[in-house]
Amino acid sequence: MRLLIMGPQGVGKGTQAAILSQRYGIPHISTGDIFRYNLKNKTPLGIEAQAYIDKGELVPDSLTNEIVKDRLAMDDAKNGWILDGYPRNASQVEALDEILSQLDIKLDCAVALDAERDVLLERMKKRAEEEGRSDDTPEAIAKRLDVYEKETAPLLEKYEQRGQLARLDGTGEVEAVTESIVKALDERNN
Ligand code: AMP
């Protein structure tokens, strides 16, 4: 199973991706987690990406696309993956198309979760208190939601046109959202 999990920050992509990763036995690949790991360990990639991340801006495509290309070529990704937080703009969609074609694999589904902006802001505020991410400042949160609306949300239409999109409500209880995703995936496979 090869899935994208899409949607605005705070909608629960990471939580759902972690559950689905267990359920289907496939790695959860989050570009945000990869960047945070590199920030924490002060690698050259982390140092280069830090200013963008702290401001809530996208890290340049040249860096991000390389990371995804390398990660999807790893052994544990041979039988599937859930990609969380990528692609986030039109040129990343093109880069992903190219990576998939080079690996001779196809995407099964792009799962898009959605919720109202006030629900997202509330969840991000809570997460900021719990996790203390460097980009959970009010300015960076607002910027990230704006970037999502301008650059990422329009991508859903591309996947819809390709017949690969499952749009679902991300507002309910975690288990209920998981079940709705699993149901949508089952229906697509039948
Ligand atoms: P996330 O945890 O997915 O919200 O990502 C945290 C931050 O990492 C984002 O605000 C960006 O600065 C950076 N980032 C994550 N994924 C991408 C991506 N696909 N393209 C560019 N920047 C990204």
- What's the confidence (pLDDT) of residue 117? 87
Contacts of 28 (CB under 8 A, 6+ apart): 17, 18, 20, 21, 81, 82, 84
> Cα angle at 14 between 8 and 18, to 5 degrees?
150
Give the integer Cα–Cα distance in Å for 125 and 24. Answer: 31
Active site residue 144: yes
Active site residue 88: yes
Whether the model pTM is above 0.75 = yes
Who lines ligand 1 at CB under 6 A? 9, 31-32, 35, 52-53, 56-59, 64, 85-86, 88, 92, 135, 144
Taking the chain (190 residues) in consecutive chunks of 10 residues, what is each chunk's mean pLDDT?
96 96 98 96 96 95 97 96 98 98 97 93 87 84 92 97 97 96 92
Do 19 and 174 contact (CB within 8 A), yes or no? Answer: yes
Do 80 and 129 contact (CB within 8 A), yes or no? Answer: no
